Amino acid sequence: MLYKFQNFCTQNNLFSKANKILLAVSGGVDSMVLMHLMANSDLKFGVAHCNFQLRGTASDGDEELVVRTANALKLQCHIERFDTYQYIKDEKTSLQQAARDLRYNWFDSICDKYGYDKIATAHHASDQTETILYNITKGCGISGLRGIPMINGKITRPLLFATRQEIVAYAKENNIGWREDSSNSDEKYNRNLIRHSVVPRLKQINPGIDKTMLRNTTRYRAMEELIGSEIEKIKMRYLSSISGGHILLTDWMVDQKGSIVILEGILKEFGFNYDQVSSIYHSLTGLSGKVFYSDGFKLNVDRSNIYVYPISENEDILIEIEEQDCTFEVAASVYKMTRMPVEKFNMIKNPKFACLDFDKLVFPLKIRNWQQGDWFMPLGMNSKKKLSDFMIDEKIPVNLKNRVVLLESQGDIVWIAGYRIDNRYKITPQTKLVLIIEKSDVQSI
Higher-confidence residue of 232 and 139: namely 232
Query: What 3-state DSSP class applies to 240?
Result: strand
59, 52 in Cβ contact below 8 A?
yes
Q: In percent, how much of the chain has pLDDT > 90?
A: 64
Query: What pLDDT sits at residue 288?
Result: 67
Which pLDDT band holds residue 103 (cuts at 50, 70, 90)? very high
Scored b (16 or more CB within 10 A) or e, 161-176 reads bbbbebbeebbeeeeb
Please give the mean pLDDT across all residues of the chain.
90
Q: Does 314 have pLDDT greater than 60?
A: no
- Band (139; pLDDT cuts 50, 70, 90): confident
- Sheet (strand 245-249) strand order: 239-242, 245-249, 305-310, 297-302, 291-293
Report cis status (omega within 30 of 0) of the bond before 207: no
CA distance 250 to 299: 14
Say which residue, 278 or 70, is predicted with more confidence: 70
Predicted local confidence at residue 443, as pLDDT: 46
CA 297 – CA 308 distance, rounded (Å): 7
Q: Residue 186: CB partners within 8 Å, gap ≥ 6? A: 192
Amino acid 441: pLDDT: 67
pTM, rounded to two decimals? 0.70
Per-residue confidence (pLDDT) for residue 160, from 0 to 100:
96
SS3 436: strand
Neighbours of 208 (CB within 10 A): 11
Quick check: 238 and 249 in contact, CB under 8 A? yes
So what's the pLDDT on residue 398? 66
What is the average pLDDT across 172-201?
89
The least confident of 250-259, 293-302, 319-328, 375-384 is: 250-259
Residue 332 pLDDT > 70: no
- The string of pLDDT tens digits covering residues 203-260 is 999 999 999 999 999 999 999 999 999 999 999 999 999 888 899 998 888 777 778 9
The CATH number given to 2-220 is 3.40.50.620
Domain boundaries, the chain: 2-220, 243-310, 319-440
3-class DSSP state for residue 295?
coil
Task: Say what the pLDDT of residue 334 is.
Answer: 81
How does pLDDT run across 71-97, given as a tens digit for each residue?
Answer: 999 999 999 999 999 998 888 788 888
Residues 149, 128: Cα–Cα separation, whole Å: 9
Average pLDDT over residues 315-330: 80
Q: What is the model's pLDDT at position 444?
A: 41
What is the predicted pLDDT for the residue at 445?
40
Domains 2-220 and 319-440 share a fold: no
- Tell me the CATH number for domain 319-440: 3.50.40.10
In the chain, how many H helices and how many E strands?
15, 22
Does position 442 have pLDDT exceeding 60, yes or no?
A: no
